């Protein structure tokens, strides 16, 4: 139920944001009628938070910039990362169309595929413990692509820019109090001692 609500809110918020000119977006109110607080816009990504019975929920989301397949005139897929009180780093694919029942989807991040299962108009990673690694790959990547089979139309291939994802992730981390380990810094290789010149 919570996931269905998120899917509806993501679609509605992105539709509104797309209709607002950039100049107006900068001065827009930080909250809207859905009760979501807008944390910011970062490149192709937007970040929001809202409260539900179980506590605070924060999510970063983007609409596909390139859309192929599906029924004629369909709307783009969305990619989202969500922090909930009971779970963090939940990665989901959200379509304003239905996926073919019992079909799988792939999230390709710079050439590396991640398998997702579908239900209705949404999809989640087949491996629950893989979400954190997928989020890390999104933060390091440049592009992501969804490959999926819709209930109607040709196979879906929707592409996303990951520009701004790292900042959007940092915004929802801060809003929901999620601590993220800093990336390890490689130590410089030890230099071999200089050889003494032969006399």
Q: Quick one: pLDDT band at residue 194, thresholds 50, 70, 90?
A: low
- pLDDT of 161: 97
Residue boundaries of the structural domains of the chain: 2-175
Question: What pLDDT, in 10s, does the model give residues 40-78?
Answer: 999 999 999 999 887 999 999 999 999 999 999 899 999
Contact 171, 40 (CB under 8 A): yes
- pLDDT of 52: 86
- pLDDT of 29: 38
Q: How far apart are the first and last CA of the chain?
A: 82
Quickly tell me which residue has 């596909």 as its tokens.
Answer: 64
Instruction: Give the Cα separation of 127 and 116 in Å (integer).
Output: 8
Rounded mean pLDDT, 144-161: 96
Q: Quick one: pLDDT band at residue 20, thresholds 50, 70, 90?
A: very low
CATH code at 2-175: 2.60.40.1880
**Residue 29 vs residue 112, higher pLDDT:** 112
Question: What pLDDT, in 10s, does the model give residues 177-187?
Answer: 998 876 544 45
What is each CA distance from 160 to 27, 54, 142, 147, 180, in whole angstroms?
26, 31, 9, 12, 24
Query: Which among 52, 64, 115, 127 is positioned nearest to 94, based on CA atoms?
Result: 64
- pLDDT of 128: 76
Quickly tell me which residue has 């390139």 as its tokens.
Answer: 66
| DSSP bridge partners of 55 | 52
Instruction: Give the Cα separation of 75 and 91 in Å (integer).
Output: 20
Instruction: Give the Cα separation of 149 and 101 in Å (integer).
Output: 9
- pLDDT of 119: 96
Question: What pLDDT, in 10s, does the model give residues 74-118?
Answer: 999 999 999 999 899 999 999 989 999 999 999 999 999 999 999
């Amino acid at each position: 139920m919570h996931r269905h609500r998120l899917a509806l809110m993501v679609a509605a918020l992105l539709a509104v944001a797309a209709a607002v000119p950039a100049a107006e977006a900068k001065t827009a109110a930080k909250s809207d009628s859905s009760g979501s607080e807008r944390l910011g816009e970062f490149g192709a990504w937007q970040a929001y938070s809202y409260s539900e019975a179980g506590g605070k929920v924060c999510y970063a989301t983007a609409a596909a910039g390139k859309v192929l397949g599906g029924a004629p005139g369909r709307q783009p897929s969305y990619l989202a990362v969500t922090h909930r009180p009971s779970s963090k780093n939940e990665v989901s694919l959200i379509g304003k169309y239905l996926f073919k029942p019992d079909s799988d989807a792939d999230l390709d991040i710079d050439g590396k595929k991640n398998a997702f299962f579908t239900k209705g108009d949404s999809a989640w990673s087949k491996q629950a413990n893989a979400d954190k690694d997928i989020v890390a790959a999104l933060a390091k990547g440049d592009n992501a692509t969804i490959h999926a089979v819709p209930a109607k139309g040709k196979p879906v291939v929707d592409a996303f820019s990951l520009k701004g994802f790292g900042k959007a992730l940092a915004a929802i981390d801060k809003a929901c109090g999620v601590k993220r380990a800093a990336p390890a810094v490689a130590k410089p290789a030890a230099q071999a001692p200089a050889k003494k010149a032969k006399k």
